[in-house]
Amino acid sequence: MKKISRRSVLPILGAGLFAPFIARSVSALPDVSTNLQFPHALSKGELVGICSPAGANHDPKEVSDFITLLENFGYRVKVSGNLQSKFGYLSDTDEARAKAFMDLIHDQEVKAIFFTRGGWGCARILPLLDFNAIQKNPKIILGFSDISAFLVAITHKTGLITFHGPNGNASWGAFSWDSIQKTIALGEFSTLVNDDPLRYPSPPVCIRSGSARGTLYGGNLSVLTGLLGTEYLPEWKGKILFLEEVNEEPYRIDRMLTQWKLNGVFEQLEGVVIGQFRKCIAEDPKWSFTLEEVLNQHFKDAKFPVFSGFLCGHIADKFTLPIGQLVEMNADAFSITPMRASVTLL
């Protein structure tokens, strides 16, 4: 396994994209994005809807600050009716949370839907969503953490590109905001790679060398593991899987990755990108593998390229990733490159 250093980043980025790889050729797959639906780019002055389909909002100021933030960025904001409600650890009943989201889908003036926070609850309301209506009313849908359940299910069921990016209670600093704007407003699709290795909470590591092309799917490991075997995840042939996690001990990460392996997913993938696994350390390290050891055990002999440390997950600075998009990953350069714009420009 090799780690990146400040002195090695430029040679890697310069030569790694063209070096011979032990993994499969990037041209081996057809362009599988032809049946996808691309939402319209989000312009200043347009209406953004926000809702809470998962956990309850613990701090009202987080919600008001998020509204102010979006308004300062030049957007108008429509608030769903459940931002200040509470139903146990959920923001509202299953029916009410599903209705709040679908009301924003049906509102023709709403061009994008963002979320206040994750937590838990999105998977509970997947059977209550009207995927036909979502397909007929395409708009930008952006979030992460528990929202991963929405994103992958909507893309799988409708073909609509969705976006893995910050929730309202996450950081919307310059790095994250720049990636959001380039992806959903400007329609840019340049290579996503960190040009400052010190920005990474966990430095990037090439676990299995190579480059591959496939359809990008992924999100929070715990959330997506809970959907294995359901109708809300895609077939995994031809996919590049990205994963992120927070506050899970290495043995739990091991258990979840084993479940993916036993479901046959790893036999079908074209590549794996491990994002930031923040605070995933053992309570008693002397009786545990490290996270790096667990990842190495699962992927060092993979038949596809794998790297860890990508900038996505429960961290301040993160890329916005288009779920359902055809991308090329490069495990030696620690990069993901979309093959086209993920929004349509008016």
Map out the domains of the chain as residue ranges.
2-30+192-338, 47-170
Confirm whether 62 is a catalytic residue: no
pLDDT, tens digit (0-9, with 9 covering 90-100), for 260-279: 999 999 999 999 999 999 99
Q: Which residue among the candidates 156, 176, 179, 244 is catalytic per the annotation?
A: 244
> Helix, strand, or coil here: 346?
coil
pLDDT at 199: 74
Is 106 an annotated catalytic residue? Answer: no
- Tell me the H-state helices in 277-317: 291-299
Q: Is 40 a catalytic residue?
A: no
CATH number 3.50.30.60 is the correct assignment for the domain at 2-30+192-338: yes
What sign has the CA pseudo-torsion 216, 220, 222, 226?
negative
Query: Span 47-170: which CATH code?
Result: 3.40.50.10740
Q: So what's the pLDDT on residue 22?
A: 36
Q: What is the pTM of this model?
A: 0.90
Distance, CA of 101 to chain centre: 19
CA distances from 18 to 12, 193, 309, 326 (A): 10, 16, 21, 20
Q: Which of 156, 164, 298, 314 is catalytic?
A: 314
The parts of the chain modelled with pLDDT lower than 70 are 1-34, 197
> What does the pLDDT read at residue 42?
98
The pLDDT value recorded for residue 198 is 74
DSSP string, 138-194: --EEEE-GGGHHHHHHHHHHH-B-EEE---TTS---HHHHHHHIIIIIS-----B--
In whole angstroms, give the CA distance from residue 297 to residue 244.
18
Catalytic residue among 52, 80, 145, 222: 145
**How many other C-beta atoms are found inside a 10 Å radius of the C-beta of residue 202?**
19
Q: Do 2-30+192-338 and 47-170 have matching folds?
A: no
